[in-house]
Chains A and B, each alone.
Chain A
C-alpha cells in the first residue's frame, strides 16, 4: 500500500512538472503579457520598468527556475490583472465551483440511479425505452445551449428562478456556502441541473448496463430460488454489484464536472474558478493560468487516488500495485 501511494505521488509530481514546463514554455512563446498589461500610451521607460518588475527580461529558463523555486514554497506568482497572489484568487473561488459540482453530482445520482435501475429491470418496457431515449438526448444536449434555454424558460418567461449569480451564502467552518439559504438554493438550482444533465444520462446508462449484467449472474438466480423478496434482491444484491463500475465513473466525472463548470459558470455568471480561468485566458494572465493548471492537476490526482482506494475497498478482488 505505501509503495503504491509512493508511486502515485511520484506520478503526480512528474505530471505536474511536465505540464508546468509545457504550459510555461507555451505561454512564453505565444505572446508578451506586457502588451496586455500596459496602456497603449505608456512611455518606453514605463514599459521597461514593467518588464523588469515582472522578471520578463530574463531568459525563459531563468524565469521558469524562479517560478519553480517560488512554487515549491507555495507562491505561484501574482496575477497580472488583480495584482494578488494567483493561488489566493483561485482558492477564494474554489468553494463556489466545488459546491456547484457537488450539487450537480448529487442530482445526477438522485435522478440517474432510480431511472437506470428501472430501465435495467424492464429493458423492453415502454417507459424504459423512453428513459433510454432521454439519455441519448442528454448526451447530445450542448451544455451551453441548454443553459441558455433554461434561462430563457425559467428565468425570463416564467420568472421562477434567478438567472445569474450565487445568492446569499452562509459561512460553514469559514467556507461560504449557498446550499443552506433559500436564496442560495434558488440560485444554484438552474446551474447545478445544467451541469448535471450530461451526467444523469451517463449514470442511467451505466446503472442500466450493470443491472442487466448482474441479473444474469448465478447468485441472483440463487437468491430468487431462496425466495428472497424481489425488492431485496434488486436493492441489496444487484445494486451492490452495480455500484462498483459506478464508483470509478463518479470519481472521474467529479473531475469532469469541475472542468465543465467553466461553461456553466460562464452562462450563469457563477463566481467560481472556471469563470476566472476563462477571463484569465482572454487577457493572458499567465500566473493565474499556470496556478489553475497546477491546482487542477493536484485536485484530479487526489480524486483519482481516492477512487482507486475506494474501488479496492468495495471490490476486494482489486489489488493496488505500485508499478
Chain B
C-alpha cells in the first residue's frame, strides 16, 4: 500500500531512473520502454496501427473494389503471381482478393471497434464507479449489485443476446461491447476511489468548498488511473477478440464491413480442402495484435502494480 500514499508517483519499478520531476505518465512510459517484452509489444502494435490507418495507401489493392478483383485469381496459394504480375504475398480468397490487403483493411475495422467500445465503456464505467464510491450507502450498494449480477454472466453471452436483438452493424457491435464491458471499469474505479476518498487531499478539497464534480474528476479520478490503465489495456484486447468471435459466428459485423473475424469465417469452408491460408493469416494477424496488446498490459500491471487482477 505504500505506493498509494504517494499519489504523485505511480511507477514502482524503474521510477528511480527518471528524474523526480518527470510526470507519472513519463515515468510509466520510461519503465515500459525498458521492459524488452513490452517494447516488442509497443513496436508491433504501432506497426499494426500504422498499417491499419494507412491501409488505403499501402495495400496492394482495394480488396472491396470489385473492379480490381479477378475471379480467375481465386484461392491462389501465398506467394502466387497474378496475371498482371502482382504477387499475392499471403494468397487470395475465393473471390480472388489479395489477403494481405484484406487483412490491413480488416485491422482497421477490428481496431476501430475495439478502441471505440473500450473508450465509451471506460467513460461510462469510470463515471458510474466514481459516483458509486462517492455517493456510498444505498446508491453504492444498488449500483454494485447491478455490476455484480452483470459480471456473473460471461461477456459473450450478454453480447450474444444484445446482438440477437440489435442485429448486425458496426454501431451495434460497439454498443453490445460497451454493455458487456462497462461493469469491469465501474468495479475497478470504485475500488480505488473508495480508498482515495478517505485521503487528506480530498478533505482539503472539500474544505475549500470545491464542487463535487470537480473533486471527483479532477482530484480523485487521476489517482484511480493506474489500475484503470491496466484494466483498459487488457479490455481493449478482449474487446477486439470478442468482436472477432462474434463476427466469426455471423452475428457481429455485416459482410460489407469485414473485420478479421469475418475473414477467418470466410475461409472456414475451404479449410478442409486444404486451402488453409484464407482462414489462417487473418487469424494470425489477430493473434499477433492481441498478444502484443497483452504484453504491454502485462508489463503495465507489473509497473503500476494495482492490487487486483485485471
Tell me the A residues contacting B by CB distance below 8 Å. 11, 15, 23, 26-27, 29-30, 136-137, 139-145, 148-149, 151-152, 156, 163, 205-206, 209, 252, 255-256, 259-260, 262-263, 266, 277-278, 281-282, 284, 289, 293, 296-297, 300-301, 304, 323
Contacts and interface: CB of A to CB of B under 8 A. Distances in A.
Interface string B264-308: 100010011010100110010011001100110010000000000
B161 A142 contact: no
Interface of B: 141, 145, 149, 152-154, 156-157, 160-161, 163-167, 237, 241, 244-245, 248-251, 261, 264, 268, 271-272, 274, 276, 279-280, 283, 286-287, 290-291, 294-295, 298, 309
B280 A142 contact: no
A30 B152 contact: no
Contacts of B153: 255, 259, 296-297, 300
A26 B172 CA distance: 13
Nearest to B264: A145
Contact of B149 (A15, A148, A152, A282): A15
Contacts of B163: 281
Across chains A and B, which 10 residue pairs bring their CB atoms closest together, nearest first?
Answer: A145-B283, A26-B165, A259-B154, A256-B154, A140-B290, A259-B157, A140-B291, A281-B164, A144-B248, A140-B294
Nearest to B272: A156
A145 B259 CA distance: 14
B291 A148 contact: no
B245 A263 contact: yes
- Name A's interface SS: helix
A284 B250 CA distance: 13
25 contacts: A15-B149, A23-B164, A26-B166, A137-B291, A140-B287, A140-B291, A144-B264, A144-B283, A145-B244, A148-B264, A149-B280, A152-B271, A152-B276, A252-B152, A255-B152, A259-B154, A259-B160, A262-B160, A263-B248, A282-B250, A282-B251, A289-B161, A300-B152, A304-B152, A323-B141
Contacts of A209: 309
A289 B152 CA distance: 19
A140 B237 CA distance: 8
B245 A143 contact: yes
B160 A142 contact: no
- Name B's interface SS: helix
A151 B309 CA distance: 33
B295 A136 contact: yes
Contact of B249 (A259, A278, A296, A301): A278
B244 A142 contact: yes
Contacts of A143: 245
A141 B249 CA distance: 16
B39 to A, nearest CB: 15
Contact of B274 (A156, A163, A252, A293): A156
Contacts of A205: 309
Contacts of A148: 264, 268, 271, 279-280, 283
B309 A293 contact: no
B283 A149 contact: yes
Given A136-B291, A149-B283, A281-B251, A144 B261 contact: yes
A280 B276 CA distance: 29
Contact of A156 (B156, B248, B271, B287): B271
Given A136-B298, A145-B279, A148-B268, A30 B166 contact: yes
A298 to B, nearest CB: 12
A11 B149 contact: yes
Given A145-B287, A148-B264, A149-B283, A23 B154 contact: no
Contacts of B145: 11
A252 B251 CA distance: 25
A165 to B, nearest CB: 13
Nearest to B164: A281
A148 B278 CA distance: 11
A215 to B, nearest CB: 18
A164 B129 CA distance: 45
B160 A281 contact: yes
Contacts of B160: 259, 262, 277, 281
Contacts of A256: 154, 156
A139 B294 CA distance: 8
B165 A145 contact: no
Nearest to A23: B161
Contacts of B309: 205-206, 209
B166 A151 contact: no
A26 B261 CA distance: 26
